[in-house]
Amino acid sequence: MDHIGHVGIIGGAGWLGTAIARALLGSGIVTGHQLTCSYRSRKPDNAVECIWTADNRRLVEQSDVIILSVRPGDWEEIEINAAGKLVISVMAGVTVESIARRTGSSRVARALPNAAAEIGYSYTPFFVASSQPRDGDVVSAIFRGCGVVDAVNSEEHIDYFTAMSGSGAAFPALLASAMMNDAIKHGVPSEIARRAAQQVIVGAGRLQEWNGASPCETVRSFVEYNGTTAAGIITMRENGFDTVIEAGLEAAFQKARALSDT
Ligand SMILES: NC(=O)C1=CN([C@@H]2O[C@H](COP(=O)(O)OP(=O)(O)OC[C@H]3O[C@@H](n4cnc5c(N)ncnc54)[C@H](O)[C@@H]3O)[C@@H](O)[C@H]2O)C=CC1
Ligand SMILES: O=C(O)[C@@H]1CCC=N1
């Protein structure tokens, strides 16, 4: 898309803020002169090449689009007036209502990337609460630089996706860690167990991307093959695999909702 103006990232020194800043610069959507990042105490070593400030009000003054990327617990300390500007939050749980009330902006969006934003492989659903039609295009363009995006039409779905895809980047690692520990219990040297588990999730992700099948189709075709993999899948399911996943997603969803301020 063409020019989106000057972008400011509050919390630009953090994990996600840095990933978004790198994606913005990498996709060419802004130059270093059109991007301001703020830090709380100290400009980070290896800082992204852009304008840096500790003054969030100054950042807001010089930005057309403001991205809020501080931890939910630090949100209450941010005092800015962003009236008339597009404010995009990536914070878990913090509501559109809270953002609009505390920034004075009626152009608010919530986007929920995940840890893979760092390598351009995030999945980022976003919800836009703005009467300006172009704002959705701006949010979409920003987060396409971090991976795949989808607009959703319910704010509640952002809280749900905070659990499912926002936290989800960690869950395949949880599966791989259980597999690695099982291999070690079977006497496999830990370094080999680590490499095997690592390559299983990397290979599975690449395979899924390459063949484009839905995960449900992938599981079904392994079950239909009726070999060792099918035996593993069926027994995992009989032992509550899907129920455990649902319970974990529900707990993360409830945690996201609990982060919403009152
Ligand atoms: N890390 C992840 O995978 C994801 C994180 N999120 C959300 O993104 C937000 C940021 O998360 P992370 O980057 O992981 O946390 P982080 O702790 O790495 O980064 C937050 C940064 O904000 C800075 N900060 C705090 N108060 C500030 C202030 N007043 N002015 C300027 N900077 C300030 C901190 O010093 C820190 O550098 C959180 O709200 C989180 O819920 C959402 C999706 C995924
Ligand atoms: O774990 C967290 O709280 C953050 C928000 C969503 C994903 N990571």
Q: How far apart are CA 128 and CA 88, in angstroms?
A: 9
Which atom of ligand 1 has the smallest separation from the CA of 17?
Answer: 13
Strands 7-10 and 65-68: parallel
Predicted structure pTM score: 0.96
Is the interface score ipTM higher than 0.90?
A: yes
At 208, is the pLDDT very low, low, confident or very high (cuts 50, 70, 90)? Answer: very high
Instruction: Out of 128, 153, 178, pick the residue that ends a domain.
Output: 153
Candidates 9, 56, 68, 71: which one to mutate for ligand 1, based on the most atoms within 8 Å of Cβ? 71
Tokens matching residue 107:
């152009």
Give the strand order in the sheet containing 147-151. Answer: 51-53, 35-38, 7-10, 65-68, 86-89, 107-111, 122-129, 147-151
Residue type, 120: G
Distance from residue 256's CA to the centre of ligand 2 (Å): 8
Single residue among 107, 124, 153 that ends a domain in this structure: 153
Q: Which residues line the pocket of ligand 2, CB cutoff 6 A?
A: 92, 162, 166-167
Mean pLDDT of 119-130: 97
Who contacts 248 (Cβ-Cβ below 8 Å, separation ≥6)? 171
Q: Report the distance separating Cα 71 and Cα 5, nearest Å.
A: 25
Residue 162 lies in a domain: no
Beta-carbon contacts of residue 251 (< 8 Å; ≥ 6 apart): 163
> 219 lies in which domain range?
169-259
CA-closest residue to ligand 2 atom 8: 167
Q: Which atom of ligand 1 is found nearest the CA of 94?
A: 39
Kindly state the average pLDDT of the residues 101-112: 97
pLDDT in tens, 63-82: 999 999 999 999 999 999 99
CA 45, 48, 52, 57 dihedral sign is negative
Domain count, the chain: 2
Confidence of residue 99 (pLDDT cuts 50, 70, 90): very high
Answer yes or no: are the C-beta atoms of 128 and 153 closer than 8 Å: no
249 and 189, same structural domain? yes
52 assigned to some structural domain: yes
Which ligand is located closest to the Cα atom of residue 89?
1
Query: Same structural domain for residues 178 and 139?
Result: no
CATH of the domain at 219: 1.10.3730.10
> Are residue 138 and residue 197 in the same domain, yes or no?
no
> 20 C-alpha to center of ligand 2: Å?
15
